[in-house]
Amino acid sequence: MTRAMNDRSRLLSEEALTKYRIELLVKGTVVIAPQMLFTQDDLARIDQLQTQIPEEEVRLGDAGDSHNVFVKRVRVDPPGRPPSNAHGRATGQIIELLERKDRSFALKKILGASSDYVIRRCQMHRLPPGSFVGIHLDAESDPDFDYSVIVQLARDFEGGEFVVYPSAYEQQVFRPPLGAVLVTTCKLRHEVKPVHAGERRSLVYFCSKRSGANRRNIESSADDL
Ligand SMILES: [Fe+2]
């Protein structure tokens, strides 16, 4: 295989995968450069498929946290039930794209898995000016979430930084470019700062080693985010 063959060959670079693996281990979060996991064609395909999915506004997270974000459900993970694709053909086609063999292989290397990961939940996020995602812990939505994977689908926006809080005294601020993929452990609190201008769009999915029913217990049902 020649290096210049196509973008896909970069998915298989052992050297790059190891570098990202180490950074994820050390920091709990890593940004994978554009074109490594998703080519421009992949991004265009996601953009096209997501137009077929209905959108809802979410203002309350699983833990009573505050949000203001527009969400399209691709795969849902309700408490007490196994994950399932949301209604419509496009949702299955997006999951198929995410689970393509070379991409799953590369991601598995970065996550340091010996067994396969399953996508438990997947959704599109759209944040017009004034929107934000309040501080939360993904593991509160599903205790079996291991990593969240966030694919950046927009470039012309201001604000909307992804901020991770490894402890009460530290914060890591990320501004991933279009096509970059941010991977973070679901065990760290994080937020998306308010968008000031333009529109921030992303595809978010949550990977787990467990495929059974969601083991989260809830008394009252809140909008899932
Ligand atoms: Fe999150």
- Return mean pLDDT, the chain: 89
Query: Is residue 71 within 8 Å of 58, Cβ to Cβ?
Result: yes
Residue 12, pLDDT score = 59
Cα(162) to centroid(ligand 1), Å: 10
Cα(31) to centroid(ligand 1), Å: 15
> What CATH class is the domain 12-207?
mainly beta
Cα(180) to centroid(ligand 1), Å: 17
Residue 225 has pLDDT above 90, yes or no: no
* pLDDT tens by residue, 134-152: 999 998 888 989 999 999 9
Neighbours of 218 (CB within 10 A): 15
Q: Which one-letter DSSP state was computed for residue 177?
A: P
Cα(45) to centroid(ligand 1), Å: 24
Domain boundaries, the chain: 12-207
Average pLDDT over residues 125-130: 94
* pLDDT tens by residue, 74-103: 999 999 999 999 999 999 999 999 999 999
The model carries a pTM of: 0.90
Which is nearest to 204 in space by CA: 222, 218, 186, 221?
A: 186
* Dist. CA 201–CA 178, nearest whole Å: 10
Residue 113 has pLDDT above 50, yes or no: yes
* pLDDT tens by residue, 156-202: 999 999 999 998 889 999 999 999 999 999 999 999 999 999 999 99
Query: Is residue 118 within 8 Å of 206, Cβ to Cβ?
Result: no
Cα(136) to centroid(ligand 1), Å: 6
Higher pLDDT residue, 140 or 6? Answer: 140
Average pLDDT over residues 106-120: 89
Query: Is residue 151 within 8 Å of 46, Cβ to Cβ?
Result: yes
**Which amino acid is it at 168?**
A
